[in-house]
A and B are shown apart, each in its own frame.
Chain A
């Protein structure tokens, strides 16, 4: 599961093919030491190879703070509530788009979360199903319909991914010995793609929307299951055919032996 989300985060990272710049070279961290340390542990820095200015603007290698944060440097400081979704959405377009359609999108309502409310800033937490477990409860009381909806989403996503993983493992192990299941690979890939698209959809917090996408994945999985079932039926039929053939062969060999005895 984490791998699926991690892949999503790795996407932008593939654009940068160099080792990360050490945060020692970035002047922001000289004063903002704690934030720098937290950021250094995050996926954004280690895999995404982002630096402070990618979100905050400014000139990270300018030693003079006036120049680094002055006019013309693009420095925006601490982003306001209204800026966060757009900022994160510059790379994470799909979750931001889904978020904008969901009940949490009205940033003017201070009770609503922003991206960093659940994913935190600087030491950004990787997207995962476990995050749903730990963060919804910060605002929503147990037993409320809102929390129930979050739990339903988490459960459905978890189930769909688990089923897919089980099917993938089963098919892979069979593929080792039976090349005829190659057709299943394209269905499995389509299913995995649908599940990858479902992940960012969680931000819309819309069960129907999610269900639609999960149904897509399930349709692909059903194709695979049908192929596996056909294979099973085929194998059983073929085993019966083998039995019938050897009965026939044995009967005829016996008859030929009797014929020989008769002619002696």
Chain B
């Protein structure tokens, strides 16, 4: 299913939540909708899901306006998770699948397969209230894809998951993409989007900041960044005049080289002052691009 968002806007009183946003997502590709909290991602998704109506613009599914049956072809994992706690896991999945037009007999094998895959099989006959938060989150993902939708909209799917569950979910999403599903992935974690998406749209205050295929977006900003893994005092890197900007973690930095500087000189400058474990010239990360763009805009 092709999804096209065409010059869509939505305001709440004086607040312009989404401002003339346009993008397209295609089958077999994962489209990343990125931006900080409050950027307008969830409002955009709610308009796509026909939960709220745009003030202006159009949302097209396979080049047409949404039809009665289209909701059955869409799977949605909302940012605000919630399930019927008193229902038994299997009954809950059957109920939500039935609302998407799937019969009990048709969907039961799929339910068993997904529960098995997410280590939830032993909870099949238990009430949802008995699941841990992580398990409930995985179940919520299963709810969103149990009817085998053509378009999967995932709003912050990895939020609050432990590393093992994150990996399980990541693999499942990539697999859905490989199976030809159109996937719209909304997240504020740039690293995740960078690793999973083929195309991205970064928004801030409801407006487009950057868009396009991930590699093209990154190449636009050149290869003037250096990733350094090290042991020692980060202040030495921070204070170095060859570094223009720095994204800093305790033992890892992404440094943007100052104008006229090069990686060799930086390496020479640091040798002997910190213990370098990795030194790699890279294209800037989406995170860095996003932060820089915001700084320039601000």
A binds B: no
User: Footprint of A on B, CB under 8 Å?
Assistant: none
User: Footprint of B on A, CB under 8 Å?
Assistant: none
